[in-house]
A and B are shown apart, each in its own frame.
Chain A
Amino acid sequence: MKLRGGYNLKIEGRPGGFLDKASLPETLYLPLASRSFNFSQICTVHGRHVVVGDILARDPDNYDIPLLSPCSGQVDLESTTGHVVLHELSGDESGVQIKYDDAKHAHKMGSADFERHKLLNLGAWEYVKDAYTGQTPDPLSTPQAVIVSTIQLEPFLVRGDVLLEASLQQFTRGLEHLQSLLEYQPIYLVLPKIKTDISAKIKEHIRGYAWVKTIDVPLKYPYDNAAILSRHIGLKRGDGFIWSLNADGVVAVDTALTSSKPCVERVISVAGPGAKHPLHLRLTAGYPVAEIRKRYAQKHAVAVDGGILTGQLLTDDIKGISVDCKGITFVPERQSREFLAFVRPGFDRQSYAPCFMSSLRGLFAERLTNSVRGEVRPCVSCNFCEEVCPAGITPHRLHKLIYQDDIDEIERSRIDLCIECGLCSFVCPSKIELMHEFQEAKGAIAKEKAAAAKREADAAQQTDSE
């Protein structure tokens, strides 16, 4: 498939190239549920003293992915619902090596399996997702390919170049580790199509690696998406998992396998038009959201977990940064209602369709708020959503089918190919919540399928018992 659609929004608030380290807070709040994990199986007890890398909880539905303790402290399971709270923290006494070479693991499995267990239990597997489903792949499986992305095109997430600048060595070593887990499968390395310092350096480093294939991708959102890239390369769904991970994931792999250390530090972006000074921040999971808000957010801004296009509203009952947080985006709340907004010339508006006078000036970044900026109207078939959709499906048609509640036809129209990039909702002049509708419809379809499968299983059981 050729890369198609896509759109680069120009919004103020891109994080700078600066990487700051957050100091150790007084308390850590580790959320038990995050966007992709649900750590429902608690592995610690209230009041216990834990050290870096101790397993606090596991997610039984995701290959027992662990929730690791980011530093030493006292466990508190009672004060905050939905969180493991750590008090009396003390920083990681570096040099403390986690003894992972447990003989009991090693003799039971081959060395490759052993390494995979290590990845899982040291917290590096959290970074790996299946390209098509977005779920955690089976760590013991062999994938059909690995996709490693060094770019991050959604505003405003961690910039790959910032991350790599700080850890290029680990990155290339991590790639080698990944390769050692595979048989002959290729690793696709996603680089920007334009020449940058960092991409030149990476290319230099990997020159001898025959098993790395580079893909140069134009810098247009969301061409860095793993599902889009897999389709672009021609990897088939159903031929097995495709491991996809970003630069930070590769560095985590290196941390786990080279130094056998738990991967508890991560880099997130704190950015967006509502941030005081957008930046990158090195911290651990559980860092209090309130602290970040106090330090980095402007007044009257809503916090979003993730990028501005695909994130989730960070509600008040989430107290800390989750383990899979990629960034916090602050979006200012709309303050006043503009008088006769739609007839203004709009020199300061940045729009997909050049309907504002700003088309006469060059590109600039607009300071957006969380206003919907219009009223919801019926679809006028303007076709913008179809033009920007990178998946090659037809959002306005799906919208109409959802309106008619025609589940079969929705499925036949390939709603499963939607990567939930959010561009259609962003550009729609009728302000239709297209992506949200699709997410709900996908959920409904999944539920229906699960119910059908269960019915079938029940029926089979009945015939068996007869």
Chain B
Amino acid sequence: MKILLQLFEKVRPVFEDKGVLSPMKPLYEAMENFFFAPASKTLYAPFSRDPLDIKRYMSMVIIALLPCVAASLYFFGLQIISMIVVSYAAGGLVEVAFAVIRKEKIAEGFLVTGLIFPLVLPPATPLWMVAVGCAFGVFVGKEIFGGTGRNLFNPAIVGRCFLALAYPAAMSASWIEPGSGLTGRLLQYVTGSNVEAITSATPLVEAKQGVFADTLHLAIGNISGSIGETSGLLIIIGGIFLLLTKVSNWRTVVGVLGSAVLFEAILHGVNPEQYAPALWHLFAGGLLFGAFFMATDPVSSPSTNQGKWTYGVLIGSVAILIRNFSGYVEGMMFAILLGNIAAPIIDEIVFSVRLRMLRNE
């Protein structure tokens, strides 16, 4: 370790203001501080700080997603790994480019975006589409707003939305029948040309035709769907881990899931023929994944606790509305986008109510 640290010390001058590679300083700093805890000391009170930093904070999300990633390898094949790598490369490139242009530090947000983005794609999406989508998402969803922390939208959702609108045909031809047996598809590399593996149907598509997949399959995940979205149970496990670490806020999750289940239960109660049971909807499609991993993105959701409730309820009910009363089969994506737009307004309202309550103090 000493040697590595010395190496960093040695090459630092090259990246300093007058060095040959000074424009690349953000990259150098990111590398150095990735390997070694940053050297800065407190100048102002408080003179000690909490050990949690953004790197750790973001890593928690990655840990929480690992069960889903592992399951997806089993169900859909090894191409998932290359998709994740491509997504990281494309997202990272945009992030680094902007850090260099703005002379700012490289923020860790893309570590999460780079992993979440492929998980919401169909499992046989061509790699070039993964790259384009991720780059677009990071660029439009984040960088043009000023980078991590200032983004209005969740970049992964923006990328996903872009692909869905720009290449609808290619996307709907990229679903894969899940593997089964001992090794599943663990030893396969599935692409769009593996005709026997490709399917066009996901449970939500079939539901439009009145065919409902078994809820048990939805919970376990041996069903076609987006890479990370199929196994309800693993998503819940990862999601609860995130809630326990306080990285995601339970109010958002309960808001989304509670309102969706309640709304769907009412619909089902009114007309059981036409509307599926609430439990089925809970596990189908991206509702769980969206609630636990996407709606909870702290930057693009309201920051106040009261705001998070409102935001969650908004997303949950809009998702169910779209699923049941529109031509689209999946509503989560648009519901979260809508929530992202509403977030700053919700926050403003909460703030002005708060200030009014403080008026007499």
List residues of chain A with CB under 8 Å of any chain B CB: 1, 9, 11, 231, 237, 273, 302, 304, 306, 308-313, 329, 331, 333-334, 337-343, 346, 349-356, 366, 368-384, 386-387, 392-394, 396-397, 412-414, 417, 422-423, 425-431, 433, 435-436
Contacts and interface: CB of A to CB of B under 8 A. Distances in A.
B36 A429 contact: no
Contact of B45 (A309, A349, A384, A386): A309
A426 B50 contact: yes
A397 B303 contact: yes
B53 A374 contact: yes
B55 interface: yes
Contact of B60 (A355, A377, A414, A430): A355
B33 interface: yes
Interface in B42-94: 42-57, 59-60
B149 A373 contact: no
A371 B59 contact: no
Given A341-B36, A422-B45, A352 B105 contact: no
B355 A412 contact: yes
B179 interface: no
Contact of B51 (A331, A349, A392): A349
B48 A370 contact: yes
Contact of B54 (A356, A417, A422, A429): A429
15 contacts: A273-B48, A308-B46, A308-B48, A342-B55, A351-B51, A371-B37, A373-B50, A381-B298, A381-B303, A386-B304, A394-B351, A397-B347, A422-B45, A423-B46, A429-B54
A352 B361 contact: no
Interface stretch (B245-253, B258-266, B314-322, B327-335): B245-253
B149 A377 contact: yes
Given A373-B37, A429-B53, 18 more contacts: A237-B361, A329-B47, A339-B4, A339-B36, A340-B34, A370-B42, A370-B48, A372-B40, A374-B49, A374-B53, A375-B53, A376-B105, A380-B149, A381-B299, A414-B361, A425-B44, A426-B50, A429-B54
Given A396-B303, A414-B361, A374 B55 contact: yes
B36 A338 contact: yes
B361 A377 contact: no
Contact of A353 (B36, B45, B48, B52): B52
Contacts of B10: none
Contacts of A308: 45-48
B195 interface: no
A372 B38 contact: yes
Interface string B300-315: 0101110000000000
B247 A355 contact: yes
Contacts of B143: none
Given A383-B249, A429-B50, A435-B45, A342 B56 contact: yes
A311 B47 CA distance: 8
Give the interface centre of A373, A423, A433 by most chain B CB atoms within 10 Å.
A373
A390 B107 CA distance: 30
Contacts of B150: 378
Name A's interface SS.
loop
B18 interface: no
A304 B47 contact: yes
Contacts of A231: 361
Interface in B330-361: 347, 351, 354-355, 358, 361
B230 interface: no
Contact of A394 (B107, B245, B247, B354): B354
Given A381-B299, A397-B351, A310 B46 contact: yes
B17 to A, nearest CB: 19
Contacts of A430: 53-54, 149
A380 B54 contact: yes
Contact of A312 (B33, B45, B52, B303): B45
A371 to B, nearest CB: 6
B1 interface: yes
B286 to A, nearest CB: 23
Contacts of B167: none
A426 B49 contact: yes
Contact of B53 (A333, A339, A354, A431): A431
Given A377-B107, A378-B147, A426-B49, A372 B41 contact: yes
Contact of B47 (A370, A379, A384, A387): A370
Contact of B35 (A311, A339, A374, A394): A339
B283 to A, nearest CB: 28
B208 to A, nearest CB: 37
Contacts of A342: 37, 53, 55-56, 59
B174 interface: no
Shortest 8 CB-CB contacts between residues of A and residues of B: A374-B53, A378-B149, A368-B48, A341-B37, A381-B303, A342-B55, A353-B246, A337-B36
Contact of B37 (A337, A352, A394, A413): A337
A414 B41 contact: no
A383 B298 contact: yes
B324 interface: no
A380 B110 CA distance: 13
Nearest to A416: B361
A352 to B, nearest CB: 5
B5 interface: yes
B39 interface: yes
B358 A425 contact: no
Given A380-B148, A383-B298, A311 B52 contact: no
Contacts of A436: 44-45
Give the interface centre of B36, B246, B347, B354 by most chain A CB atoms within 10 Å.
B246
A393 B350 CA distance: 12
A425 B46 contact: yes
Contact of B304 (A313, A383, A422): A383
A130 to B, nearest CB: 16
Contacts of B33: 375
B49 A371 contact: yes
A386 B46 CA distance: 17
Interface string B1-16: 1001100000000000
Contacts of A393: 358
B31 interface: no
Given A355-B245, A430-B54, A379 B49 contact: no
Contacts of B38: 337, 371-375
A237 B148 CA distance: 40
Contact of B149 (A309, A379, A435): A379
Contacts of B303: 381, 383, 386, 394, 396-397
A194 B148 CA distance: 45
B244 interface: yes
A437 to B, nearest CB: 9
B46 A422 contact: yes
A6 to B, nearest CB: 14
Contacts of B298: 380-383
A305 to B, nearest CB: 10
A352 B50 contact: yes
A331 B47 contact: yes
A412 B352 CA distance: 10
Nearest to B5: A337
Interface string B202-217: 0000000000000000
